[in-house]
Amino acid sequence: MPAPLPLHLAVALEGAGWHPSAWRDPRARADELLSPAYWTDLVREAETGTLDLVTVEDSLGIQTTSPDGPDDRVDQVRGRLDAVLIAARVAPVTRGVGVVPVATVTHTEPFHVSKAIATLDYVSRGRAGWQVRVSPREWEAELFGRRTVPAIGSDLDAPESVAAMEELFDEAADYVEVVRRLWDSWEDDAEIRDVATGRFVDREKLHYIDFEGRWFSVRGPSIVPRPPQGQPLVTALAHRSVPYRFAAKAADVVFVTAHDAEEAGRIVAEVRHEQAAAGRQDEPLHVFGDLVVFLADDERAAAERKAHLDALSGTDFTSDAPVFVGTPGGLADRLEDLRGAGLTGFRLRPGTIPHDLEAVTRGLVPELRRRGIFRERYDAPTLRGRLGLERPANRYAATTGGAR
């Protein structure tokens, strides 16, 4: 019987944790959420577990429970640091874990994001990625005052809601295409740095991208030379058919929220269908399952932890992703069951930080290693290499080759 394929594992970092009362947990560091030391400690903890990557949450608007704008709650965390800047701070003091911040595409410019993520790839020495996010909220559009966004109603299956989603994600697809072209606008050997001849750069190896589309008209080239990975990792969270289509066309990793193995199988099949429709059937595309986790040494203790947090917030916590409450061993069983449906990895959202993050790195990871399905050490220097993704050829170079 062949050995099981290695499992890929990520964590999603959000403030004090994904539960709205996580900041009131006895071990929470609520007074440090805006400090660089806090985020450095979290990413280093992820690295001790040899996790593939961490994602760092972000949004254009302040956290809220209301779809219509900021709420009046004072019992939940409000305010955050910029995710790309957090990643740039923690990347130089880590060695192995990938750093993947959220950066929203709606209302921002692809030129700015392209150079920010390219810079992150340099400071991380080839471990950078980007989680693409759209903003369908009218009140977030008002923060910029330059445009309106198509309204998405409460019925996401209504034709007008689907049309609005299609417009936002079509824009996002063009945005990613512009960013990817800008990453390629410098050939790998464009910098000569020849002191004797006084030539620092070969201008013939910088390329205009000349992108013309409905939303963007970008000439290029970038101001940042081609990133170490060639193309930093592009990721996206997807819940429905329209974002599945976007991710299958534009991303290297898609995060999905399957609640059981049957649903996971259906989602993976749909993503693979869209991948083939986009002409990418021969390219690797990872599908990671998202779960929120509350972990303890026994199931009762884990349930009591979550119940206490629920009591503090006044409601039972639910999420777009499935919520797992139990032991690291039980979580390992759940992950093995779900990956049998075709998922290639998982992104875990710690209910509280640092407790549930440490339960992943110090409890779940050793259990997965015992089962022979998770690495003992980092086996590739770049994030793309770790995920089995080749360093892509530069689309503008006449002749080029690449390796991980």
Listed by start position, the domains of the chain span 8-137+231-386
Spatial contact of 368 and 49, defined as CB atoms under 8 Å apart: no
pLDDT at 401 over 90: no
Q: Using alpha carbons only, how large is the chain's radius of gyration in Å? A: 21
**Cα–Cα separations (whole angstroms), residue 378 to 98, 345, 381:** 11, 16, 8
DSSP three-state, residue 91: helix
d(CA 83, CA 147): 24
d(CA 248, CA 116): 24
For residue 17, what pLDDT band results from cuts at 50, 70 and 90?
very high
Nearest CA to 275 among 264, 263, 265, 287? 287
Q: Which fold would CATH assign to domain 8-137+231-386?
A: TIM Barrel (3.20.20)
Helix (H) or strand (E) holding 164: helix 159-183
Write the DSSP string, 373-394.
-S-SS---SSHHHHTT---PPP
Over residues 276-287, the pLDDT tens digits come to 999 999 999 999
**Cα–Cα separations (whole angstroms), residue 256 to 19, 113, 253, 306, 337:** 19, 24, 10, 23, 16
What percent of the chain stands above pLDDT 90?
A: 93
Write the DSSP string, 345-375.
EEEEEESSTTHHHHHIIIIIHHHHHHTT-S-
Over residues 249-293, the pLDDT tens digits come to 999 999 999 999 999 999 999 999 999 999 999 999 999 999 999
**Sign of the C-alpha dihedral computed for residues 167, 168, 173 and 177 taken in this order:** positive
Check the annotation: does 82 bind a ligand.
no
- pLDDT, position 3: 53
Residue 103 forms beta bridges with which residues? 132
DSSP three-state, residue 165: helix
pLDDT at 244 over 80: yes
Mean pLDDT computed over 218-233: 98
**Sign of the C-alpha dihedral computed for residues 222, 227, 229 and 235 taken in this order:** negative
